[in-house]
Amino acid sequence: MLIQSVDSNDPSSSEITPRPIYSERRYFLKQLAQGVAGASLATWASRQAIAGVAAPGKLAPLPGTASSIAGAILMEKITTYQDAATYNNFYEFGTDKADPARNAHTLKTKPWAVEVEGLVKKPGRWGVEDIIKWSAMEERIYRMRCVEGWSMVIPWVGYSLSEFIKRVEPLGSAKYIEFITLADPKTMPFVGSAILDWPYREGLRMDEAMHPLTLLTFGMYGEILPNQNGAPVRLVVPWKYGFKNAKSIVKIRFVEKEPVNSWGRVAPQEYGFYSNVNPNVDHPRWSQATERRIGEDGLLSKKRKTLMFNGYEKQVASLYAGMDLSKHF
């Protein structure tokens, strides 16, 4: 197993926990017993009020073998399932962090199909139950950094998006990929609201999409994704700000020109196409130099320094060689 290198901002060894067995119902209790969740107990207790979210064990299991891709297994304390599944951004279900867990039960994930169109040899429409079989499931423990200044460490389950892309055979003219997500006003109460231009959409340059760390994600903590985390299929690009990770994808379009993402449509001066995590380029309204790790909510807990490319510099910096990252933010 390849482990990401330890640098000055990485946690001390006392903070590192062995990989827990997420598929066990006892996972959260085990975390508690290890003192992992102790600091966030108060937060946890208050979030218990959201019915049906406590620990993995309620959804269908989706185990993955530990990934051997460089940088894919981060040895840092894992965010509790409770936090990862109740502190979300999924604006189709509301703007408060607790809204998706409260409201996303209306999302109908069966049947679910993903359409592939644009500059590919094999366009088509496949059920997610077929797509999930296109490659072996891997577990990846990724550091996630939201543009708003908080972070988590989440064990995702999926396979490299590159496997999916190879299968549909893009044409040489395909330079970017656009991801379009479900916008169903019947099941998503905030679709149609003025917050965003719906459907939520995101994009990647082809080499970013083909990078082995870019994960087509079907599960977390050894189970299928809960609705609020983007069931049944989403994107996870760990070196970019969280909003690049389109949830509940229904269409993947191969295009020649850089697509405009949802946040880029609303506020292009604030949200660039690349959105690589970069502590040296501030958001116009706040600094990006530090972050708050969810679960470290105590009064005495220090903010963490944000790492270049969210700590994945060694793996991805070459994708941006020669680019002015303050311009291409």
Question: Which tokens go with 34?
Answer: 């290890």
138: contact with ligand MTE by CB under 6 A: no
- Which residue among 28, 90, 218, 221 contacts ligand MTE (CB under 6 A)? 90
Q: How many residues bind ligand MTE (CB under 6 A)?
A: 16
272: contact with ligand MTE by CB under 6 A: no
Span of 26-34, 82-90, 101-109, 306-314 interacting with ligand MTE by CB under 6 A: 82-90
Distances (CA, A) of 97 to 58, 91, 94, 151: 21, 9, 8, 14
What is the C-alpha separation between 314 and 70, in angstroms, rounded? 9
229: contact with ligand MTE by CB under 6 A: yes
Span of 89-97, 112-120, 135-143, 170-178 interacting with ligand MTE by CB under 6 A: 89-97
How is residue 69 annotated by DSSP? S
55: contact with ligand MTE by CB under 6 A: no
Of residues 158 and 230, the one with the C-beta less far from ligand MTE: 230
Span of 15-23, 27-35, 87-95, 164-172 interacting with ligand MTE by CB under 6 A: 87-95
| CA-CA-CA-CA dihedral for 251, 237, 18, 314, to nearest 10 | 150
What is the C-alpha separation between 318 and 51, in angstroms, rounded? 45
- Which residue among 118, 242, 264, 311 contacts ligand MTE (CB under 6 A)? 242
CB of 233 to ligand MTE, least distance (A): 11
- DSSP letters along 38-54, please? GGGHHHHHHHTTSTT-S
204, 255 Cβ separation under 8 angstroms: no
Span of 38-46, 60-68, 86-94, 110-118 interacting with ligand MTE by CB under 6 A: 86-94
Of residues 75 and 146, the one with the C-beta less far from ligand MTE: 146
- DSSP letters along 269-307, please? TTS-SS-B--TTS-BTTB--SEEEETT--STTPPPEEPP
Sites of contact with ligand MTE (CB under 6 A): 88-92, 146, 181, 200, 229-230, 242-243, 245-248
